[in-house]
Amino acid sequence: MYLRWTLVLSNISTLNPSNPNNPINPSNSNNPMNSSNPSNPSNPITPVTFLNRKGLKLFGMLHTPAGARKDVGIIILSPGIKSRVAPHRLYVKMAKRFCEMGFCVLRFDPEGIGDSEGEIDERMVAEFYASVQVGRFVNDTVDAIDWMEKEFGAKHIILAGLCGGAITALHAGAQDKRVDQIIGLGMPVSLNGSNVDPYRYISRGQLGELRKGYLGKMISGKAWLRFLSFRSDYRLILRSLTSFLKDAVYSLRKGNNGSPQVKANISNSNLNPLFPVALKKLAMTRKISLIFSGADRLHWEFEEKYMQNYSSEFQELGNNIDVHIIKNANHILSFTDWQDEMLEKISLNLKDFNTCSSHNTFSLRETR
């Protein structure tokens, strides 16, 4: 049975355009004046549709604050299988903040996601993720940019997104020169897939966190019962312990107490080969804002699989790359404090945005 990522799977409540009781009529939803946000008339939210290059109808929500800048548009991209709302309504909160800064914002569902037309044919979630990581939704993103330019005359585009939306923004920005800046939250740098062994490519940072969890369960009777009844993940436990022993032996031989900074072997890594290429191409002339969660495996993968192998190249591009780590946060920024820190950081970066020149350079400000 083929997978169809619909509203039920994304666990959100969105409008069904085929429902006759739906107050939104898709046939006239392209006109931004047909609907508004009665709770906040100064920042109207309008349902819109546009066709992608395949002729499929894509649905989105357009935020147009009073006095919005017409030369700049922000597009927030779908985080993988989730729709334009995102976990904990994160994209709605981001759009609200962007509107308060005077930006026009589009949140839309790409082909096969949420309300948009199309199907997802991959049988395994990992295969779908892999397709996103190599640019599955880039064409839909470029089509959305075309729509923003046609409808509003936006010559400068900022792309933002979480996880799959972040890597889509990177690929699209590297391809389309109308993109002046990208904002990537929890950007994946590795490749998934049903043929990828997750144990083989697990990061040292993730192994360290798992090891702390195992040690914390040493006095738990339930944990021991699970272990002795063959319900534990023995391969993962062994992997975390052998990693610790290797670090300990290395430290003794080198006469230090710290963990070794082992440079990963790129030929034996699942680093997405398209990631460093796209990052370099984009950062040569435009700004990239990367925000990682401190307790997210994607942060460790960025540090170990990219930074340790491309540190020299990263420093050369540093004037246009800003990296920020939200301490202890999880991947989807569940807590309000984490969301607030992310929004404040993004707001600070957007205040520097200037459209006097087509591409802008910024200084590296890496904070942890």
Tens-digit pLDDT profile for residues 37-69: 545 656 689 999 999 999 999 999 999 988 888
DSSP letters, 46-70, are EEEEEE-TTS-EEEEEEE--TT--S
Identify the pLDDT of residue 256: 54
Q: What is the pLDDT of residues 127-164, one digit of tens each?
A: 999 999 999 999 999 999 999 999 989 999 999 999 99
Q: Mean pLDDT, to the nearest integer, of 296-320?
A: 90
- What pLDDT sits at residue 243? 65
Instruction: Assess whether pLDDT exceeds 50 at residue 324.
Output: yes
- Cite the residue boundaries of each domain of the chain with CATH code 3.40.50.1820: 7-17+24-193+270-351
pLDDT for 357: 40
H-run or E-run covering 216: helix 204-216
pLDDT of residue 244: 63
What percent of the chain clears pLDDT 90, i.e. is strictly above it?
A: 53
CB < 8 Å & 24+ apart, contacts of 200-205: 201/269, 201/270, 202/239, 203/297, 203/300, 203/301, 203/303, 203/304, 203/305, 204/243, 204/259, 204/262, 204/300, 204/304, 205/297, 205/299, 205/300, 205/303, 205/304
Using DSSP bridges, classify how beta strands 104-108 and 72-77 pair: parallel, antiparallel or unpaired: parallel
Q: What is the pLDDT of residue 253?
A: 62
Report which listed range, 72-76, 206-210, 216-220, is most confident.
72-76
Asked if residue 2 has pLDDT above 70, the reply is no
Do strands 179-185 and 321-326 pair parallel, antiparallel, or not at all (unpaired)? unpaired
Whole-model pTM: value is 0.76
Whole-angstrom distance between the N-terminal and C-terminal Cα of the chain? 45
**pLDDT band at residue 235 using 50, 70 and 90 as cut-offs:** confident
Residue-wise pLDDT for 251-278, tens only, equals 666 655 444 444 445 455 889 999 999 9
Q: Which residues is 128 bridged to in the sheet?
A: none
Q: How far apart are CA 106 and CA 159, in angstroms?
A: 10
pLDDT at 345 over 90: yes
Kindly tell me if the per-residue pLDDT of 218 is higher than 70: yes
Q: Which residues pair with 289 in a beta bridge?
A: 183, 322
Going 110 to 112 to 117 to 118, the CA torsion angle's sign is positive
Average pLDDT estimate for 177-204: 85
- Cα–Cα distances in angstroms (integers) from residue 358 to residues 13, 177, 210, 316, in the given order: 38, 9, 45, 21
Tokens matching residue 285: 């002339």
Judge whether residue 106 has pLDDT over 90. Answer: yes
The larger pLDDT score, comparing residue 229 to residue 282, is at 282
Residue 328 region by backbone torsions, left for phi larger than 0, else alpha for psi between -120 and 50, else beta: left
Residue 186 region by backbone torsions, left for phi larger than 0, else alpha for psi between -120 and 50, else beta: left
pLDDT digits (tens, 9 = 90+) for 8-29: 333 333 333 333 333 333 333 3
For domain 7-17+24-193+270-351, the CATH architecture is 3-Layer(aba) Sandwich (3.40)
∠20-25-28 over CA atoms, to 5°?
155
